[in-house]
Chain A
Amino acid sequence: MTPLDVAALRKDFPILERTVRDDRPLVYLDSGATSQKPRSVLDAERDFYEHRSAAVHRGAHHLAEEATDAFESARRTIAAFIGGQSEDIVFTRNATEALNLVSYAFTNSTLEGGPQPFVLGPGDEILITEMEHHANLVPWQQVAQRTGATLRWFGVTDSGRLDIDPSLITDRTKVVSVTHQSNVLGTINPIPRIAEMAHAMGAVMIVDACQSVPHMPVDVTALGADFVAFSGHKMLAPTGVGVLWGRSDLLAQMPPMLTGGSMIEQVFMDHSTFAAPPQRFEAGTPNIAQAVGLAAAVDYLEAVGMQNVHEHEVYLTGLALEGLGSLPGIRIIGPTDLTDRGGAVSFVADGVHSHDLGQVLDDSGVAVRVGHHCAWPLHRRFGVAATTRASFYIYNDEQDVEALVAGTRRALEFFG
């Protein structure tokens, strides 16, 4: 059973009223890529533009004051949502930018010879995992290339769990960066345990929480992380806004990635000094209306209840695993049990390429993601070039899962 009144929630999402491909009702199972937006979020964004639109943190006028209030109030709302302080919340464009902001801190500090927590060199190690999204993989490859540090990773078991090899965390390990929940496998990783191991060796612990913050209760203190990155658009908010949360003492030392307006303290012709966090990391005019939209999304999610969101998705995941598992020739890539598992279900079908499977599903109005989902090495690990991924959110119901299973059966028959 689901704890949510999905029929009531669905009424808040205007896009779910439309049809696709020859008037078929939309079955949206691609929230892992981006979520749909409730009316309250769209209204918040529009309301900002209609009534309070101005540049923030400058301007001596009434509108600038209200815009700044709205922006900083959004920061407080988001901080409270993840159990953090508002001055530790940095607005970015998305989670990719948030992760790059941290990774560039290591590259730039290494080039400049400080500050020390961010300096890497030959012999130092960066530890990631084989289940990372490219956004938490490629930036660390770049850091390793530029600093001389070595990139290492935890593998993944056949059942899609993280293969935590404690011998990989040593006093050489300076950075540990791990996804909280795999965008492909659905696996929820034991971040507090990994963070404890990382901290015991003095490493900085970074968490890609892109697939967890939208889908379950997340408390940054309980996670034990030093940095946490996530995107707004995957949690009912507009595109263009993401968040980096960082531990105050680390943010205080961290160098900026982008420089320019709004992030300075004093500027002279030959040098500048930088503002305190979070402004130091928010060069240029930020995505103000989108941050306001993100706060409205947080309000919406809090009213639904994050534990309810998680339980609902686990319920649908169980139905999907059962339904797909009953079809011949379907192999689930990821855990087939519901322990520490979120609502992303990836699979391959014998004799049907995922692109073709996705096409048949699309013909039935079912929107899924096909391909490697920006986790190419993970797919290689499982010996597949591509998978089909269904991912769930609060507006999905049992009928959506049934449509997924029926569409998959149709594809098997069509190409069989």
Chain B
Amino acid sequence: MNLENLYQEIILDHYRHPRSKGLREPFDAEVHHVNPTCGDEISLRVDVEDGLVKDISYDATGCSISQASASVMYEQLVGKPLDQGWPVLDEFVHMIEGRGKVEPDEDVLGDGIAFAGVAAYPARVKCALLGWMAFKDATLQALGKDFT
């Protein structure tokens, strides 16, 4: 494992140029998640209509992994029906928590595959998942369900 493997160009690009960053209206639910070990924070809103993710807007501070991850998530999930979005989220979590032993499915993950190297660093798992867990929480709230 080397640094270039962890910090792939896609990650650095999303870190330097986060896509559609900033909180927007309208939204159905807003959450605020923190990573208490390092102080990274994200505020995230979702706009869900008829099972479609119409918008994810977010404002976040944190490391390159957490920032880029939220930005990639925005690109991967907005405009998708939820029944296509959940499998992407599940596959992303599966890869990140896989300690590098999971063969990720690029067809499902899209640019999310760039985070495969994170799985080798347990201390960075929470960074990569911060935005995705916020999305899950907000969306479940928007649907009137509990975050588990």
Contacts and interface: CB of A to CB of B under 8 A. Distances in A.
Interface string B1-39: 111001100001000000000000000000000000111
Interface in B25-73: 37-41, 61-65
Interface string A365-389: 0000011100010010000011000
Nearest to B64: A356
Contacts of B2: 363
B38 A370 contact: yes
A359 B3 contact: yes
A359 B39 contact: no
Nearest to A379: B39
A321 B1 CA distance: 31
Q: How large is the interface on A (under 10, 10 to 19, 20 to 34, 35 or more residues)?
A: 10 to 19
Interface string B91-132: 000000000000000000000000000000100100100000
Contact of B62 (A360, A372, A385, A415): A385
Interface string A339-381: 0000000000000011110011001000000111000100100
Contacts of A371: 37-39
Given A359-B3, A359-B124, A353 B37 contact: no
A77 to B, nearest CB: 35
Contacts of A353: 62-64
B1 to A, nearest CB: 8
A385 B61 contact: yes
Contact of A414 (B7, B38, B124): B7
Given A355-B127, A371-B38, A385-B39, A414 B62 contact: no
B64 A415 contact: yes
A354 B65 CA distance: 12
A371 B127 CA distance: 12
Nearest to B2: A363
Interface residues of B, number: 19
A386 B3 contact: no
A355 B38 contact: yes
Contacts of B1: 21-22
A408 to B, nearest CB: 14
A362 to B, nearest CB: 9
A360 B41 contact: no
Contacts of B62: 353, 355, 385
A310 B89 CA distance: 51
B35 to A, nearest CB: 9
A385 B41 contact: yes
Contacts of B40: 355, 385-386
A386 B64 contact: no
A370 B121 CA distance: 15
Contacts of A355: 38, 40, 62-65, 124, 127
Contacts of B3: 359-360, 363, 414
Contacts of B124: 355, 359
A356 B39 contact: no
Contacts of A386: 38-40
Among A21, A356, A415, find the residue whose CB has the most chain B CB atoms closer than 10 A: A356
Contacts of A372: 38-39
Nearest to A371: B38
Contacts of A21: 1
A360 B3 CA distance: 7
Contacts of B64: 353, 355-356, 415
A309 B96 CA distance: 43
Interface string A144-171: 0000000000000000000000000000
A387 B109 CA distance: 32
A376 B62 CA distance: 14
Contacts of B121: 359
A252 B124 CA distance: 48
A289 to B, nearest CB: 30
A415 B12 CA distance: 8
Interface in A401-416: 414-415
Interface in A110-137: none
A349 to B, nearest CB: 12
Interface centre among A22, A386, A415 (most CB of B within 10 A): A386
A402 B6 CA distance: 25
Kindly name the residue among A354, A355, A360, A386 whose own CB sees the greatest number of chain B CB atoms within 10 A. Answer: A355
Interface string B68-94: 000000000000000000000000000
Given A22-B1, A371-B38, A372-B38, 20 more contacts: A21-B1, A353-B62, A353-B64, A355-B38, A355-B40, A355-B127, A356-B7, A356-B65, A359-B3, A359-B121, A363-B2, A370-B38, A371-B39, A376-B39, A385-B39, A385-B41, A386-B38, A386-B40, A414-B7, A415-B12
5 contacts: A22-B1, A356-B63, A359-B121, A371-B38, A415-B64
Interface of B: 1-3, 6-7, 12, 37-41, 61-65, 121, 124, 127
Interchain residue pairs A-B with the least CB separation, the first 5: A355-B63, A353-B63, A371-B38, A385-B39, A372-B39
